[in-house]
Amino acid sequence: MSTNRAYNFNPGPATLPLEVLEEFKDRFMNFGGLSLFEISHRSKEFEGILEDAKHLLTELMNIPKGYTVLFLQGGASLQFAMVPLNLMDKKAAYSITGYWSGKAASEAKTVGEVEAAFTSEGANFNRTPKPSEVRPSGSYLHITTNNTIHGTQYRQFPDTGAIPLVADASSDIASRVIEVSKFGLIYAGAQKNLGPAGLTIVIIRDDLIKKSFRTLPAILKYSTHAENNSLYNTPPVSAIYMMKLVLSWLKKKGGLPAIEKENTTKAGLIYDVLDKSGFYKTAAERESRSLMNITFTLPSEDATERFLSEAKKSGLIGLKGHRITGGIRASVYNAFPMEGARTLAQFMKKFEGQQ
């Protein structure tokens, strides 16, 4: 496989490790005499893949006993519905720190009452809350750990006491060390840090699995998927295999402590340019800055378009900010190379100097 690859700053699907892509390529056409896309999800071969992936995720995230790992489909969007359908009695609290947490709250309102435990909407979602600012109530508190559009991330998680803490960790799962035991449920799409699109990870505390307050179709119940070892319906076989390879790669790198240190350094290269610049502006408060998605603006739309055009010519792609915010967004997930962050930082300084 050619290593002449562009630096992919897209918010997701995101960069995958080159060595993982190489290994996947080798197994794609020959996995026990079949293509990887052809093996049965009921086969012993896939059973081994599934268990290996669960074991690796459990080991790397230090998931304690009393939790179950599920591999589902439907992305975070389906979890926006499954969480309240399964866990909400009459009311739940949502911390609103951006577009996706707002969307999760809107979906929950179709099930029951939603209370805003915190919102930074009045400040254009430029920060995440301090733990003391969040007011848990109802059946659970829902947070979005990293906000891809606005470039903010929780540094500390609220203490919810007996109220389960539910987290959408789609854009920063396995990017840093967290204490899983603080959470009742964590869910995440795999396509930013753990693999390709099509796979959703759910980590749920066992006492919440059957805590449903309403009659639901079987496929929408966490208990169904737990009782069937994530095989109630045909799982995304190739995506789970790819995730297993990514998790193995992550383990070889030294696990979450090592990748957290690397991610901090990568993001720091870009934030350092922003902090020393009078040209680029970043809205996210320093204490809430994301290590995954670095957002900033230029003085004009014309300057932004020229920046994007020249960046693309330099092999830096996917830097256009979300339509809500405009500007620039550099997504530097786990597999994004250090050299790519260094190259962007150098490009930013050069572009500013030419203005």
Sort 130 into a burial class: Cβ within 10 Å, 0-12 / 13-18 / 19+.
middle
* 241 and 299 inside one domain: no
Tokens linked to 57: 């995720």
Q: Does 231 share its domain with 273?
A: no
pLDDT, one tens digit per residue, over 255-276 is: 999 999 999 999 999 999 999 9
Whether the predicted pLDDT of 28 surpasses 90: no
SS3 content of the chain, % helix, strand, coil (to 5): 40, 15, 40
**Are residues 315 and 222 part of one domain?**
no
Model confidence at 36, pLDDT cuts 50, 70, 90, reads confident
Helix (H, G, I), strand (E, B) or coil at 278: coil
The length of the chain in residues reads 355
Identify the pLDDT of residue 1.
46
DSSP-based three-state secondary structure for 271 = helix
- Residues with Cβ within 8 Å of 281's Cβ and at least 6 positions away in sequence, in order, are 274, 296, 297, 298
Mean local confidence (pLDDT), 65-89: 98
Judgement on whether residues 77 and 193 belong to the same structural domain of the protein: yes
Confidence (pLDDT) at 26: 78
On whether residue 102 sits in a domain, the answer given is: yes
Q: Is residue 242 assigned to a domain? A: yes
Same-domain status, 248 and 259: no
Are 166 and 283 in the same domain?
no
> What is the domain-level CATH number for residue 326?
3.90.1150.10
Provide the annotated active-site residues. 100, 168, 192
- 62/235 Cα distance (integer angstroms): 24
pLDDT tens for 191-221 read 999 999 999 999 999 999 987 788 999 999 9
Instruction: Mark whether 197 and 224 lie in a shared domain.
Output: yes
> By residue range, what is the domain housing residue 158?
19-252
Question: pLDDT digits over 116-172, tens only?
Answer: 999 999 999 999 999 999 999 999 999 999 999 999 999 999 999 999 999 999 999
Above 70 in pLDDT, residue 82? yes
Over residues 273-305, the pLDDT tens digits come to 999 999 999 989 999 999 999 999 999 999 999
Q: Say if CB 299 and CB 280 are below 8 A apart.
A: no
My answer on whether 139 and 284 are in the same domain is no
- Whether 323 maps to a domain, the answer reads yes
- Claim to verify: residue 261 and residue 223 sit in the same structural domain: no
Q: What is the CATH number of the domain that holds 110?
A: 3.40.640.10
Sign of CA dihedral 244, 250, 255, 260: negative
Total of domains in the chain = 2
75 within some domain: yes
83 & 213 share domain: yes
Q: Say whether the peptide bond before residue 13 is cis (omega within 30 degrees of 0).
A: yes
Pair (325, 342) in one structural domain: yes
